[in-house]
Structure 1
Amino acid sequence: MPLVEDNQCDLVFYTNPWSRGQVVRWMLEETGVAYRQVVLNYGEQMKTPAYLAINPMGKVPTLVHEGKVVTECPAICAYLADTFPEAALAPPFYDRAAYYRWLFFAAGPLEAAIVNRLLKVEVNDEQQAMVGYGNYDKAVDVLAKVVSASSYLAGNRFSAADVYVGSHVIWGLQFNSLPKRPEFEDYAKRLMDRPAFIKAKAIDDALGDTIKAAAQD
């Protein structure tokens, strides 16, 4: 629990253990609600007509809740926080400025800056006004400042914004797409100590091992 095999479960999570589905798995574990997983391999399984009818992009993660489809990690995180308010993963409506600000900063400028750097896309001085993030160093400095300003992004209380932004930081440190600055390392450690993160990672690690073993048979 909360991962279930009941085909009647009204919360269905399409994922792959080596995808951004790890972000959504963590968020699901934070909510504490029951969900059913459907694991799709990269390639043909994500491109079948049945799955493309759910997610035309042919990628994971995808969440289907009571027949409603939600895709894109930040949208799924925000949806789960709003749909299951008892988990207290979003601030009150009147106090969501920082919550929305940093959730969408990571989904927009930060991700663009990181991906362009990984792809070795060079943005010259004249182009910086067009790309939304200016340059990689500026985006990284903004991120470092916000994660060190308080315990969590929306003040002193953990929220869905920390799941999404924190995943960027954790992966960035792991894969060297972010510099190993003390601000990032402290924030990442705080998040990785959470029971829901530990449980979600264990589930995906075990699932990955199962897929590897099956491929070797």
Structure 2
Amino acid sequence: MNQIERRDAGLPYISDDSVMEQQKQARRLTQELNTVDRSDFKKISEIVKELFGKSQGAFVNPPFYCDYGFHIEVGKNFFANYNCTILDVAKVRIGDNCQMAPNVSIYTAGHPVHPLTRNTAYEYGIEVTIGDNVWIGGNTVICPGVHIGDNVVIGAGSVVTKDIPDWSIAAGNPCKVIRKITDADKKLYYRNQEFDEAGWTDACRIIREKQ
């Protein structure tokens, strides 16, 4: 097996010339994305669509950084805010209606623990999956191999090292489940603060239209 085949099979591999050649397209596109007129939303969307392996209506606020782009698959209505980094050595699969606050980092890449092995230049990638309707708070780091379920909120500043189940609010370093999300949370917009009457009426209308 060559190094690209080893990487894609989930085996330890070395970033040789053939691997780096694959990264050139992503580097070209991210450079274009990160220098485009920030008010040209149409052009930003076009670059993101070309960069990602799969997307439907995705939008990324530049700057944005990734290794390959074609290993990133996002569902409908994906949004990543400023300074998102995705090291997509392995697949990164993200569901529908997911939002990322500024400075979110997703790492599939890693290196051996022992220095003698690490200094061989072998590295690895383990895929990350994120479900539908997930909100990732600012400055969060998601580590290799993590699975985040559907309808999850990850608090700002979290370091996610283990799987997070559906319908959870989780936060911390390391990130842990704080509580479940319930129907009682529907009318809240921040902690215990409820929507005003006009806002809630409009929110209910939007919810009905989306069902």
Q: Greater CA radius of gyration, 1 or 2?
A: 2
Structure with the higher fraction of residues in helix conformation: 1
Shared fold (TM-score, shorter chain, > 0.5)? no
- Category of TM-score, reference length = shorter chain: under 0.3
More strand by share: 2
Higher relative contact order (CA 8 A, sep 6+): 1
TM-score by length of 1: 0.23
